[in-house]
Structure 1
Amino acid sequence: MASLHVYSVLVVLFLTCGAVMATKENDQIIKENNCETKIGLPCVLEAFTSIFEKGSISNKCCCEHVVLGKVCHSALINRTLENPLFKDLRPATIIAKSIQTWNNCLALIDSPSPSA
C-alpha cells in the first residue's frame, strides 16, 4: 500500500514538473488551437469551479469540455496556474483535480446512455 502512495506522489510530481516546463508554450497552444472559443462561458465557469474550488460539472458541460480537447484543457489549466492571482494554490492538487475532472467527463461521454 505504501508503494501505491509513493507511486501516486511521483506521478503528481512528474505532472507538476511538466506543467512548469510548459509555461512558455501555453499561450501559443491556446492560440493555435483556438481553445478559448471552443467552450461557452457557463461551462468554463463550471469546469473552473470543479477544478479550482469545490463543485461539480454538469453532463452538458462535460460534453463541451471533452470537445475542447485534452491539449486545450491542459494548456488552460497550466496558464491559470501561472497567473499571480493563483500563486497560493498547490499545483499538484490542482493538476490532480484537473485530471480527475477530465477523466470523469471522458467516462461520462464514453458510457452508453440509458435506453428510453
Structure 2
Amino acid sequence: MAKFTSQVAMLFIVVALVCAFVPVFSVDESKAKSLWDTCLVKISPHCALNIVAVVFGNATINDSCCPDLVQEGKVCHNTLIKYIADRPALIARETLYLKKRDNMWNHCVSISKTA
C-alpha cells in the first residue's frame, strides 16, 4: 500500500510540474496539446511515471513498461523528453537526460525484439 501511495504522489508531482511549466514556457500551446493527444495517451500512468523517474532520476525501467514505450514510438518519446528537458530548471543537465532517454529506448527495443 505504501508503494501505491508513493506512486500516486509521484504522479501528482509529475502532473503538477507539467501543468506548471507547460503553460508558462510553451512557445506553441497547440504543440503541447498535440503531444498530449497523440503521445501520452499511449502510455499507462504507471509507465509514464517510471519513464520520467528513469530519465530524470535514478530509477530503472520496468521491463513491463517497454511495450508501452515502444508503442508510443521513438518520435513521441524523443519529443516529450526533449520538451521536458528544455525547461529552465533542467536545461543544465539536458545532455545527460537525452543520453538516458536514448539508452532506455534502445533497452526497450531490444526487449521487444526478444519477446
- Aligning the two structures, in what range does the TM-score lie when normalised by the shorter sequence? 0.5 to 0.7
Shift of 1:30: 6.7
* Contact 2:86–2:94 (Cα < 8 Å) also in 1: no
Dislocated runs of 4+, deviation >4 Å? none
Q: Which residue of 1 aligns with 2:102?
A: 99
Per residue, is there more helix in 1 or in 2?
2
Give CA deviations for 1:9-57 in whole Å, capped at 9, x if unaligned.
xxxxxxxxxxxxxx968x6387167112110111001011111110111
Q: 1:69 — aligned with what?
A: 73
**Aligned length in residues:** 89
Q: Match for residue 28 of structure 1?
A: 31
Match of 2:85 among 72, 81, 88: 81
TM-score of the aligned structures, taking structure 2 as reference length: 0.66
Q: Which amino acid aligns with 2:81?
A: I
Distance 1:110 1:41 in 2: 24
Among the aligned pairs, what percent are the same residue?
A: 26
What RMSD in Å do the two structures reach over aligned CA positions? 2.5
Q: Which amino acid aligns with 1:63?
A: P
For 1:104, give the aligned amino acid: H
Q: What is aligned with 2:61?
A: 57
**Structure with higher RCO (Cα < 8 A, 6+ apart):** 1
1:109 to 2:108 alignment: no
Rg larger in 1 or in 2?
Answer: 1
TM-score by length of 1: 0.66
Q: Per-residue deviation at 1:84?
A: 2.9
